[in-house]
Structure 1
Amino acid sequence: MKLSSAYAHALSRCAWILVFSALFLCVTAMTVQGQTFPSKPIRIVVPFPPGGSTDLLARRIGERLATVWGQPVIVENRAGAGGTVGADYVAKANPDGYTLLMGVTGSNAISAALYPKLPYNVLKDFSPISMVVSSPLVLVKNGNVKAGNLKELVVLAKAKPGHFSYGSPGNGTSMHLTGEMFELSTGIAMVHIPYRGSAGALTDLMGGQIDTMFGDFLVVMPQIQAGKIQALAVTSKKRHPMLPEVPTVSASGFPGFEALSWQGFFAPAGTSQDVIAKLSTEINNTLKSPEIQEYFGSRGFIIEGNSPSEFKSFIEAEVLKWTRIVKESGAKPD
């Protein structure tokens, strides 16, 4: 049966009214969700075992958020595969803001380049909330390496290609890939010795079994202060306040060199922007707390805190950088 043009027009108009009504209800629901959030406990997934710096950050910040919101904030450890097990869990969680990830350089930047069959997309499957902290790595050596500064180390390494070694907590870690970046930037050839964690690498460094390593501040600072190892450079753009006498790699003759270990909050993609904004605001307010500033600052962390869009842009740049390093170095995971 052929419909009259007037009747067809009326049907079309009704259809558009239904579409716009649905959109209006959706937007209204999202706004209400943002206003009432949170109304139940929040989980922060830490993709590593309890006791590490990521776990410590999540618990300290979670405690303050729970006080502000009057809702429990539960830290859940889901370790495995360099942080990608926990990250994948959050990527597939309900995007309601109640399941968050404390992501790190490895799980939310390096993994995109390192694992060809990664079960999630670091750029598409998460909504960045805020970077929490960052920290440069420290290039340290033992007393057997007769180099008083970074330039002298490079001269020695160029004179004996493949003679000097550097350790890391494992293949594909930020410490390993920072070493690969260092070789590419300086034109030297060193031998990478992977360990299962930083403790083994540090022990062998002090014992003379390896020559150098790029280490986390928390790991290497006690041994630097004890005079058991020596710091040659830090990998940030600026000198670190805990090692003001130690220059950056960039200022030591290799401009533009920067490698940071960072940690930040993510929600699953599709989470309401109102909820993301509320989470970002409260997390950043928590980071301004004198207690948080002192606690993590004294442990070598640089307190960050930024907007979701700033964090997103930062991650995009990180993915590009580490993808180039992985490709040019041929680095492989364990």
Structure 2
Amino acid sequence: MPRFGRSNFTDITAPAAEGFRPDRRSLLSLGAGAFLAAGLRPTQAQDYPARPIQMLVPFAGGSASDVITRILLNRMSASVGQAFVVDNRPGAGGNIGTAAAAHAAPDGYTLLMSTSGPLAANKSLYKELPYDPLKDFAPIGLFATLPNVIVINSRLPPKSLPELIDYAKAHPRELNYGTVGVGSSQHLAAAYFEQLTGTELTHVPYRNIAAYTPDFIASQVPLGFQLLPNVIGLIKSGDARPLAVASDKRLTALPDVPTAAEAGLKEYESAAWLALLAPAGTGKAVIDKLYATMVEAANDPKVRALFVEQGAEPLVMDSQALKGFMTAETTKWAGIIKRIGIEPM
């Protein structure tokens, strides 16, 4: 991971005011008295936010989505004058943290950053979800996408996407690829790749990306359909060779790496997308204020540059567009998952 690894982030994204460094434990232990002191007037946008905001992130600290989210929140906190307290709650493909946000009070002080897995694909990957992505949330907006990048250990022969496909067909089930779990964007990107190319790969799920990296370097799990922040260090060190980007355009951070279509694999597009949401019932004034603050942050040239550096493409979508997009993505991945034959967990 480049300079935005977990060690470079505190658990609190503090506002720009000099000297403001609240203690994480004190922020997370705010009790009912603090809520009452704040007035519980979430719909009055002029008074909001009156205190720090908890942001649930359903993935591990230092993961791609966590890193990109913290970049955005750092800029948002400077605008609203309050800290965003990042609370990482990984597990069950993002379902644990996402469910916690769905059941939180709709007062504007507990928000969620979630992604394409918990908000779309998991609807088909799990027999039951402890939340309804479309009914239990008030969408705020989408702020970035992270296309999957096909990478292979540099010691292996394939130097292009067609060569990888030929190699995989000649060695069925011998190529191991790593992901952060069943149903993750990496897993679905790989399964979709198998479906389109007629290849057979072997899935090796990990609890977190840190465990995958040494096995990739050792060539035990030499293939990946990864988000760029997860493998940018491997690419820079020469351990990983990027073969293609699963997007309709090249990544700004990897201008010399072709898209899958350019490399000969049409229709292969797969990306994680990152969005902010609030519990259903949160006041429209609060949603509108958060969206405006998100747009301001996402359009900041410094934020956009940091996004690109991390392999993310800035993309803003408002609440109504996001809700329609979530519906379309749920339908898209339901069809792919059914054709792939993944049984619901």
- Tell whether 2:293 aligns with 1:259: no
Tell me which residue corresponds to 2:186.
175
Q: Deviations over 1:147-198 (max 9, x none)?
A: 2211122123233433333222222211111100001111222222222322
Tell me which residue corresponds to 1:323.
334
Using the TM superposition, give the Cα deviation of residue 67 of structure 1 relative to its aligned residue in structure 2, in angstroms.
3.0
User: 1:143, 1:163 → 2: CA distance?
Assistant: 17
- Tell whether 2:197 aligns with 1:186: yes
User: 2:292, 2:258 → 1: CA distance?
Assistant: 34
Using the TM superposition, give the Cα deviation of residue 124 of structure 1 relative to its aligned residue in structure 2, in angstroms.
1.7
Using the TM superposition, give the Cα deviation of residue 333 of structure 1 relative to its aligned residue in structure 2, in angstroms.
7.5
TM-score normalized with structure 1 length: 0.83
- Tell whether 2:118 aligns with 1:91: no
Using the TM superposition, give the Cα deviation of residue 204 of structure 1 relative to its aligned residue in structure 2, in angstroms.
2.1
Moved over 6 A (4+): none
Tell me which residue corresponds to 2:21.
none
Pick one of 141, 145, 151 that aligns with 1:130: 141
- Tell whether 2:246 aligns with 1:235: yes
Structure 2's unaligned 5+ residue stretches are 1-40
Equivalent AA in structure 1 for residue 295 of structure 2: N
Change in Cα spacing, 1:165 to 1:333, as seen in structure 2 (3 Å) is: farther
TM-score normalized with structure 2 length: 0.80
Look up the SS of the partner of 1:181 in the other structure.
helix
User: 1:330, 1:61 → 2: CA distance?
Assistant: 37
Normalized per residue, the structure richer in helix is 1
Change in Cα spacing, 1:150 to 1:87, as seen in structure 2 (3 Å) is: same
Structure 1's unaligned 5+ residue stretches are 1-29
Pick one of 228, 234, 243 that aligns with 1:223: 234
Tell me which residue corresponds to 1:282.
293
Tell me if the contact between 2:138 and 2:277 (Cα under 8 Å) persists in the aligned partners. yes
Tell me which residue corresponds to 1:303.
314
Pick one of 115, 120, 145 that aligns with 1:104: 115
Q: Which moved more, 1:142-151 or 1:212-221?
A: 142-151
User: 2:344, 2:181 → 1: CA distance?
Assistant: 8
Tell me if the contact between 1:58 and 1:75 (Cα under 8 Å) persists in the aligned partners. no
User: 2:161, 2:67 → 1: CA distance?
Assistant: 32
Change in Cα spacing, 1:322 to 1:236, as seen in structure 2 (3 Å) is: same
Using the TM superposition, give the Cα deviation of residue 31 of structure 1 relative to its aligned residue in structure 2, in angstroms.
11
Look up the SS of the partner of 2:265 in the other structure.
coil
Using the TM superposition, give the Cα deviation of residue 32 of structure 1 relative to its aligned residue in structure 2, in angstroms.
5.9
Q: Which moved more, 1:135-144 or 1:118-127?
A: 135-144
Tell me if the contact between 1:172 and 1:332 (Cα under 8 Å) persists in the aligned partners. no
- Tell whether 2:260 aligns with 1:246: no
Tell me if the contact between 1:171 and 1:333 (Cα under 8 Å) persists in the aligned partners. no
Tell me if the contact between 2:106 and 2:281 (Cα under 8 Å) persists in the aligned partners. yes
Equivalent AA in structure 2 for residue 309 of structure 1: Q
Tell me which residue corresponds to 2:6.
none
Equivalent AA in structure 1 for residue 294 of structure 2: I
Change in Cα spacing, 1:146 to 1:55, as seen in structure 2 (3 Å) is: closer
Tell me which residue corresponds to 1:50.
61
Q: Deviations over 1:235-280 (max 9, x none)?
A: 1111112211211113322322211122110111222333222211
Tell me if the contact between 1:137 and 1:261 (Cα under 8 Å) persists in the aligned partners. yes
Look up the SS of the partner of 2:250 in the other structure.
coil
User: 2:69, 2:109 → 1: CA distance?
Assistant: 14
User: 2:45, 2:258 → 1: CA distance?
Assistant: 45
Change in Cα spacing, 1:222 to 1:123, as seen in structure 2 (3 Å) is: same
> Which has the higher Rg, Structure 1 or Structure 2?
1
Equivalent AA in structure 2 for residue 157 of structure 1: A
Equivalent AA in structure 1 for residue 267 of structure 2: G
User: 2:236, 2:84 → 1: CA distance?
Assistant: 36
Look up the SS of the partner of 1:246 in the other structure.
coil
Using the TM superposition, give the Cα deviation of residue 298 of structure 1 relative to its aligned residue in structure 2, in angstroms.
1.6
User: 2:231, 2:244 → 1: CA distance?
Assistant: 13
Q: Deviations over 1:47-98 (max 9, x none)?
A: 2343334333444433433332233432223333222111111111222322
User: 1:32, 1:123 → 2: CA distance?
Assistant: 21
User: 1:232, 1:325 → 2: CA distance?
Assistant: 23
Look up the SS of the partner of 1:183 in the other structure.
helix
Q: Deviations over 1:192-231 (max 9, x none)?
A: 2222322333322222223411122112122222222211
Look up the SS of the partner of 1:112 in the other structure.
helix
User: 1:55, 1:110 → 2: CA distance?
Assistant: 19
Using the TM superposition, give the Cα deviation of residue 121 of structure 1 relative to its aligned residue in structure 2, in angstroms.
0.9
The Cα RMSD (Å) is 2.3
